[in-house]
């Protein structure tokens, strides 16, 4: 899989001691990246779960997480307390990430952090790479990475929305030796998906809470980001307070989101772009004929005038 479809660069995170999958305290999140825990040494085959955090927010990254363990470890995993991360408090999620890191011989996990810049550029390019496609690419990339590291996977459980049977068939076609189960609310049904959910959620929260703005005027901002969801009053307040009518929003915002587009249309300054090809043609005519004098028939037919004359 070509990961450049998701990110211009596949960089390793400058990590912090507490949340190793998040950027360091002085590191801006410019590019998407992948983090892998140490590879377990327990005897396979392995089961693996996939879940995400941050699909809906207008601020910050989308994070896909995977967790995996030997099939023989499944009963022990069921006793560790993993569940849908959305049902857990931040303190419990943090504790469960420590649990996920506590048995490196049997428990492994990885995350793919898709930056808001890459989400937007993918969705706004033509043809667009929509969020579903970006999500699929992140999932496939993580599974492929785990296989490339020598882990033999026999079962993979994926939490997904929409037509899960189609997605399951797609993944099975890519990895025919793996039994896939793709279901809605899989993070509630399967503990290994709950573990992946914790890895993704804790990583995203750490990215958002420790966000380093590249834009200097936001370094000292005391306006809270909130959760990043459009319905969050704190996020709504941040968006309104942070909009520059000329330059828009800092790069933490997803410019492909309707929430951002509407604010820019309502509060931002209108910009008129001049097509570079037209400018080049105008200059060519000026050089050949003199500034707006004796324009050739083609220039007149096209209605082209020099910029100075407009």
Q: Residues marked as binding for a divalent metal cation?
A: 51-52, 159
Which amino acids are annotated as binding site, given as ranges? 51-52, 159
β-pairing, 33-36 vs 108-114, is: antiparallel
Name the β-bridge partners of 70.
46
Helix (H, G, I), strand (E, B) or coil at 256: coil
Could you tell me if 226 and 220 are in contact, meaning their C-beta atoms sit under 8 angstroms apart? no
Q: What angle do CA 216, 63, 83 make, to 5 degrees?
A: 130
Q: Which two tokens mark 268?
A: 């931002």
Element of type H or E holding 158: strand 153-159
Alpha helices by DSSP H, listed for the chain, are: 74-77, 90-101, 116-124, 131-148, 164-174, 186-189, 191-209, 233-242, 258-267, 276-289, 297-302
**55 preceded by a cis bond (ω within 30 of 0):** no
Q: How far is CA 253 from CA 56, 61, 230, 233, in A?
A: 12, 9, 11, 16
**Which has the closest alpha carbon to 103: 87, 84, 86, 79?**
79
d(CA 5, CA 118): 9
What are the φ and ψ backbone dihedral angles of 102, each rounded to 5 degrees?
Answer: -85, -15
């Amino acid at each position: 899989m070509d990961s450049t479809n998701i990110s211009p660069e596949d960089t390793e995170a400058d990590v912090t001691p507490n949340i190793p999958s998040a950027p360091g305290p002085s590191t801006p999140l410019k590019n998407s990246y992948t983090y892998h825990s140490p590879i377990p040494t327990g005897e396979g085959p392995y089961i693996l779960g996939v879940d995400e955090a941050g699909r809906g927010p207008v601020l910050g990254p989308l994070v896909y997480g995977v967790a995996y363990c030997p099939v023989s470890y499944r009963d022990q995993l069921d006793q560790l307390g993993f569940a849908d991360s959305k049902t857990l408090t931040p303190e419990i999620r943090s504790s469960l990430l420590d649990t996920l890191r506590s048995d490196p011989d049997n428990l492994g996990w990885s995350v793919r952090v898709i930056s808001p810049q890459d989400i937007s550029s993918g969705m706004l390019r033509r043809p667009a790479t929509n969020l579903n496609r970006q999500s699929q690419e992140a999932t496939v990339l993580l599974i492929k990475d785990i296989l490339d590291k020598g882990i033999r996977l026999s079962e993979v459980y994926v939490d997904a929305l929409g037509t899960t049977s189609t997605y399951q068939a797609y993944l099975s076609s890519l990895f025919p030796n793996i039994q896939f189960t793709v279901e809605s609310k899989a993070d509630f049904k399967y503990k290994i998906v709950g573990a992946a959910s914790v890895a993704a959620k804790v990583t995203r929260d750490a990215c958002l809470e420790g966000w380093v703005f590249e834009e200097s005027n936001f370094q000292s901002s005391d306006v809270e980001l909130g959760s990043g969801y459009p319905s969050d009053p704190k996020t709504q307040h941040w968006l309104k307070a942070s909009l520059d009518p000329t330059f828009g929003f800092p790069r933490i915002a997803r410019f492909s989101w309707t929430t951002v587009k509407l604010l820019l249309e309502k509060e931002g300054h209108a910009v008129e772009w001049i097509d570079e090809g037209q400018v080049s043609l105008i200059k060519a005519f000026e050089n050949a004929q003199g500034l707006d004098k004796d324009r050739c028939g083609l220039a007149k037919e096209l209605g082209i005038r020099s910029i100075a004359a407009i």
